[in-house]
Structure 1
Amino acid sequence: MVLLDIRNLTLELETSQGLIRAVDRVSLSLREGEIRGLVGESGSGKSLIAKAIVAVLNQRWRIKADRFHWRGEDLLQLPFDQQRRIIGRDIAMIYQEPSKCLDPTATIAEQLHESIPTDGLPGNWWSKGRHKRKKAIALLHKVGIKEHQAVLDSYPYQLSEGVCQKVMIAMAIAKSPKLLIADEPTTALEASTQAQLFRLMGSLNQLKGMSVLLISNELDSIARYTHRLSVLYCGQLVESGDTARVLAQPLHPYTDALIKSVPEFQPDLPPKKPLFALPGSIPTLQHLPVGCRLGPRCPNARKECVHTPVLERKQHHYFSCHFPLQYKESR
């Protein structure tokens, strides 16, 4: 069953200079029980897409899409209250900066208790608080926090960024959502804890069928955990498909550059040889190139690249490029 089905999502920001198109006709689908990776450089629009899914973008943003379905319902056509009810029930998100997302005026215990749904807790109404406390402790243990008493009694500003991130993850999985969106979930964590949390999300996916949208700018950190992968560049979807196939046979020059920049994917690279990197840097939203946005940095760019490429399909492998790599079929 398809949980999330988005077609040609466009996000535009209202500014004093006019509308700026930050996300340009991106399509994304996510099946039940799937772990989907969303990867790209900082500023490629990954977090904006996640915030559009959970409807937390402010009024300056204009959201347009040919289709924005959650389990068959078009969220953009629903009243805001009904939209928020569905999202609050079925979707949870781990934000990139946890210390800014937690309430500084409430203890961790108060915030974690609030995120635990009352439905399903055993006992009568007067014992719900005790059962919430037990579940809160169990959730903290699950994300790797052993000193639960000290953390529960603390305010967010008293905790490190890493501990706040773990608390955010505990709050996100408290209601057992059907979709967990993890936006750079391991940024502030040490390597051993990163592996633990990836294993936790993997077990939730396997045992409870929880779908996961895993967002990162580090291809190597999410490639081993995802079933399918979508690659974004500067607000445009450049490639999408099964993770193993995308890594083995990239069709877009940007995906190929990402793979070549990771030492793990270059076992034959001689010692001390520089890793491959595209020239230049990602453009700002105020100065976006016309057509293919990778054009000024692309080693294969030609005059046709001033026109925006359409998303094409080769079996279950999607790409958006006028001159794809390793693709010799006539078109």
Structure 2
Amino acid sequence: MGLDRPETGDDAVVPFTLEKLDTRGRIVHLGPSLDAILSRHNYPAPVARLLGEAVVLTALIGSSLKFEGRFIMQTQTDGPVNLIVVDFEAPDGIRGYARFDHDMVVKWAEAGKTSPAEMLGKGHMAMTIDQGPHTERYQGIVALDGNGLEDVAHTYFLQSEQIPTQVRLAVAQMSTKGDHRPRWRAGGMLIQHLPQNGMSRMADLPGDGDFNNPSMQDPDFVEADGWTEARSMLATVADVELADPELSPERLLFRLYHETGVRVFPGLPIEERCTCSADRIEEMLANSFTDEEREDMSVDGEIEVVCEFCSTAYRFNPHQFHAKH
């Protein structure tokens, strides 16, 4: 099969439209960037898979920001993985972190409960759009009731924007010739039904929306034929297809939608990038703590602060702050 455009590789999001089906979407492949996030903390495999799904979902949503800002996805739950934070900094930076109870993870694994939904448990997920200083933050909150992130994403878009949305996420460890260890990679696809004039541009991210609008939950609501076809085809995609390094986004889209036609736009690069810095941490230590508190933090005459996202260690002399105040 020949394609009329270059094929996109790893660490990129590819927007597309299915104009005959009144649908738009995005497909993402993550390779080295995701492997860096997951392998840096040596997460147990079930924890890594869940965080990987969260990173993919955040990349799919956050990469549609039309301004310099941040999209933050955070979960707080009662499961073995009790906190996840994934931070997308427009236009292309992503980082992620998971906090988990090691004993619970082991106990759940021994009981055969290792799916991302089981690792997540019950609680809530918040999606926040931060456009920077002097602007209002927008946030949508969805309850987590033992469901996976795919289901939660559907609920979020239904509640916040009343946009029919379908999401597929897949995370896997794969070995290639010459690798000294299996490497994490992932893929995901998000499609949304946008009838009439919705195809001319990628819509902006939702804000906090009207969570009480019952439009699509009305018993008389009838799903459009085009949307039914679009999501039915997406449902046929296997996890291995989404994560396959040999199957480009363009090739997968052609495989799914060549009969109805698919318009593919240039890929948008994604890179693993942390926003921590020595200057930021020094400012935080100087402005948020007293001399006595900084002394209490010091070990062997040194304050060490380790970034939870990238594991970079920053070290400071507690006495260096005295001269500044």
Mark yes or no: TM-score above 0.5: no
- Normalised by the length of structure 1, the TM-score is 0.27
- Normalised by the length of structure 2, the TM-score is 0.27
Identify the structure with the greater strand proportion.
2
